[in-house]
Structure 1
Amino acid sequence: MPAAIPTPEQLAQRFASGLATISFTASDGTQVVLDANAPGSLEQVLSIVAGLAGAEQYRYMRDWLLELMVTTATVDGLLPDHGTEWGVPRNPATAAIGNVVVTCSQAEVIPIGTLLTVDGSIQWATTAEGNIAAGASGSIPVQATATGTTGNVGGGITLTLVSPIAGVTSVVTDSDGLAGGAAIEGQESWRARILEKIRNPPAGGSVTDYEGWAEDAGAAYVNVVRGWVGLGTVGIIVAMAGPSVPTSAEVAAIQSYIDDPTRRPARANAYVVPAQLAPQNLTLSITPDTQQNRDQVQTAIAAYYATTDIAAKLLVARIDAAIASVTSVTSYILSAPTADVQLADNQIATLGTITWQASS
């Protein structure tokens, strides 16, 4: 049982009680007792100061004891040391990656490091040389020059060259867009990965090994399937935060990370596969049927789906609980789904369309 931390008032009273045990004879023969309970006395001030200082020391000791445990350590305390000890570094901020399609009116060589932009403030640089024939188009990989989500853009977005090249007529992001840009990993995500490593140490290619490697490489959701394309193969189904389907560049980055010979077992054939979104449609009536209630119910159901994993079993009971969590809804009828839904090995759920029926 943890020791209770005394309050400043309790510590001040202890100090005052200690002073009360001290007495001495003054030069005039008067017996003096130090009474810290006398209002406005020096002793009372000293007891208050001692109480505040003692409480601060207790809190300091408590906080540092909490830092000794991974479950309560913080990024400003000992969590980085725990990460180092267990070989789980914090995932740094990442820059968006992807491919652009460059079209040229004449044969051109697009050098590595060629800068592209949309509005001048965000830039991407080519990470490989591109040789484009006259009147043709070619795909060239790019990476944002700065980390964070600002480098993420959709497919079909027109970019411009910071320094024009005469024969280039257009530069457009491919259908996947540019993705993968993210801020530095959050404290709780990092903590969860450290705890996962502690609870599931490396085991020569276990399911938890592949899950951990994929998450270390940026995946938010992972499902490991043995025998994905036959004996001796492993399918690593991944989705990004959101959830969202990873781009081909993100899949390639995760594949490259897992294929590092210091990680993947020598004889395993591992395939990183993008998950597919599986929108879930519902038919529902609520009472009272107001727009505010509809919005709150939709948010609650979407939040439930966001907690499910790839290949999850979607429970009607959990949908019921999500709807019931909206206290302003007094009654409801969930007409569909009426049974639990088992997703395929490569599927992850998102909220599709809610068909609202009139309440009876």
Structure 2
Amino acid sequence: MSFERPSLQELITRVQSDAESRLGKKAMRWTLVPVLSRVIAGVSHSLHGLIAFTIRQIFSSTAEGAYLERRASEYGIYRKQAASAVGSVTFSGDGHVPAGTQLQSGDDMIYLTTTDIDEDKVAKIRAAKPGAAGNADAGMELTLVSPIAGIMSTAVAGELTGGADAEDDESLRERLLQRQKNPPKAGTKADYVAWALSVAGVTRAWCYPQELGQGHVTVRFMTDGMTENGIPNETMVKRVTEYIESMMPVTCILHVEAPIPKPLDVTIDLLPDDIAVKAKIESAIESVVMSESKPGGPILRTSLDRAISGVNEVLSYRIISPIDDVGTTTGEIYVPGTVSWV
């Protein structure tokens, strides 16, 4: 029988009833029994709370925070720490910019040069504070925090990528449960998936043994929420490659690739013709595509039906296209496309 924490009122009633049974009579309101019953019940309620909390920390499926980290560490799994965005910046002028120079963006993010300026006036940079907030598209203007003789105060950054937030409890728990269900076996499919998921920013991963021949292992992964449509960039591919190479058997030939995005366009005849309802349907379809897509795998027509019919405001609908299940070729993965209405 599972443990159920009694409410404070239940404990007060229990303690007072126990006291009255020993007194052999009902306690009057002006006696000490009701007062002491509330005091004792308050202490007991706190202890019951501690018991309930402790029970949650015993199991991987309910542990949280530092307790979840401790359980995961017993299997050699650790919370993925935040990673800093990296890229390059181009300066103007004839001065020298040393490594360690600080630059600031319009939203007050600080970046540091990690190399001296080269002959092309370019230097490598990284975000001073780890996290996804440091990522940015190419063309962002950065301003020198301290002036440098001969260098214009404004510089232009290239694409800044690779920034990732620290792993949350649910992601860590999912990796821990996967490890418990799939113990390491010196290089199985599950091992390669687990190694890829251990890299900060990686949200989904797949392994394809011998796809390119005997002894070859292909790993594909996604970085949902960090890059456009979750398709990994070169920085992330390099990070995952380096990590897996440090863990994998030396006899294998590793190929880490970003899946090729294939937009899934959907055309729907909908009733009612309402903007808010359409927005909910688009969000539902996007969720289905993100949860069910995998490299070389299909998106089922029934999944699209389930997504649309799950929107309560829909009175009637008809999917014009696709007319059936849709598939992908090797390496391709479906990403959310355009939803059209007729």
| TM-score bin, normalised by smaller chain | 0.7 to 0.9
For residues 291-344 of structure 1, the C-alpha deviation after alignment (integer angstroms, 9 at most, x for no partner) is 111111111111211212432321111110110111111110001111112233
Question: How far did residue 122 of structure 1 move?
Answer: 1.8
2:81 alignment partner in structure 1: 92
Gaps of 5+ in 1: 24-32
Instruction: Please list, as runs of the form range in 1=range in 2, the aligned pairs for 1:7-26 lying within 5 A after superposition.
Output: 7-23=7-23
Is the CA contact 2:92–2:155 (under 8 Å) kept in the aligned structure 1?
no
TM-score, structure 1 normalization = 0.84
Q: What amino acid maps onto 1:259 in structure 2?
A: E
Q: What amino acid maps onto 1:257 in structure 2?
A: Y
Larger radius of gyration: 1
| Residues 169, 304 of structure 1: alpha-carbon distance in 2 compared, 3 angstrom cutoff | same
Question: How far did residue 3 of structure 1 move?
Answer: 3.8
| Residues 117, 169 of structure 1: alpha-carbon distance in 2 compared, 3 angstrom cutoff | closer
Which SS does the other structure have where 2:267 is aligned?
strand
Which SS does the other structure have where 1:209 is aligned?
helix
2:192 alignment partner in structure 1: 210
Match of 2:182 among 200, 207, 225: 200
| Residues 188, 270 of structure 1: alpha-carbon distance in 2 compared, 3 angstrom cutoff | same
Count residues with an aligned counterpart.
336
CA distance in structure 2 between the aligned counterparts of 1:270 and 1:141, rounded to whole angstroms: 28
| Residues 348, 109 of structure 1: alpha-carbon distance in 2 compared, 3 angstrom cutoff | farther
Which SS does the other structure have where 1:93 is aligned?
coil
Q: What amino acid maps onto 1:329 in structure 2?
A: V
Is the CA contact 1:310–1:345 (under 8 Å) kept in the aligned structure 2?
no
CA distance in structure 2 between the aligned counterparts of 1:331 and 1:338, rounded to whole angstroms: 17
Which SS does the other structure have where 1:314 is aligned?
coil
340-349 or 299-308, larger mean C-alpha shift: 340-349
Match of 2:239 among 253, 266, 269: 253
For residues 226-250 of structure 1, the C-alpha deviation after alignment (integer angstroms, 9 at most, x for no partner) is 2344322222112212342222122
For residues 231-270 of structure 1, the C-alpha deviation after alignment (integer angstroms, 9 at most, x for no partner) is 222221122123422221222122121222xx12111121
1:30 alignment partner in structure 2: none
Match of 1:222 among 190, 196, 205: 205
Q: What amino acid maps onto 2:230 in structure 1?
A: S
CA distance in structure 1 between the aligned counterparts of 2:171 and 2:338, rounded to whole angstroms: 30
Question: How far did residue 20 of structure 1 move?
Answer: 2.4
Is the CA contact 1:244–1:277 (under 8 Å) kept in the aligned structure 2?
no
Moved over 6 A (4+): 103-106, 167-170
Question: How far did residue 34 of structure 1 move?
Answer: 5.1
CA distance in structure 2 between the aligned counterparts of 1:250 and 1:99, rounded to whole angstroms: 16
Question: How far did residue 60 of structure 1 move?
Answer: 1.5
Q: What amino acid maps onto 2:160 in structure 1?
A: L
TM-score, structure 2 normalization = 0.88
CA distance in structure 1 between the aligned counterparts of 2:220 and 2:157, rounded to whole angstroms: 25
1:125 aligns with 2:116: no
1:71 alignment partner in structure 2: 61
1:264 aligns with 2:248: yes
1:49 alignment partner in structure 2: 39
Question: How far did residue 40 of structure 1 move?
Answer: 4.3
Is the CA contact 1:245–1:277 (under 8 Å) kept in the aligned structure 2?
yes
Is the CA contact 2:96–2:151 (under 8 Å) kept in the aligned structure 1?
no
Question: How far did residue 207 of structure 1 move?
Answer: 1.2
CA distance in structure 2 between the aligned counterparts of 1:151 and 1:278, rounded to whole angstroms: 27
CA distance in structure 2 between the aligned counterparts of 1:90 and 1:81, rounded to whole angstroms: 10
Gaps of 5+ in 2: none
Is the CA contact 2:143–2:153 (under 8 Å) kept in the aligned structure 1?
no
For residues 338-358 of structure 1, the C-alpha deviation after alignment (integer angstroms, 9 at most, x for no partner) is 11122334333222111201x
1:28 alignment partner in structure 2: none
CA distance in structure 1 between the aligned counterparts of 2:211 and 2:143, rounded to whole angstroms: 42
Q: What amino acid maps onto 2:308 in structure 1?
A: I
Q: What amino acid maps onto 2:198 in structure 1?
A: D
| Residues 159, 44 of structure 1: alpha-carbon distance in 2 compared, 3 angstrom cutoff | closer
| Residues 239, 286 of structure 1: alpha-carbon distance in 2 compared, 3 angstrom cutoff | same
| Residues 20, 143 of structure 1: alpha-carbon distance in 2 compared, 3 angstrom cutoff | same
Is the CA contact 1:15–1:47 (under 8 Å) kept in the aligned structure 2?
yes
| Residues 64, 22 of structure 1: alpha-carbon distance in 2 compared, 3 angstrom cutoff | same
1:346 alignment partner in structure 2: 331
CA RMSD of aligned residues (A): 2.6
Question: How far did residue 104 of structure 1 move?
Answer: 6.6
Q: Identity across aligned pairs (percent)?
A: 26
CA distance in structure 2 between the aligned counterparts of 1:173 and 1:226, rounded to whole angstroms: 39
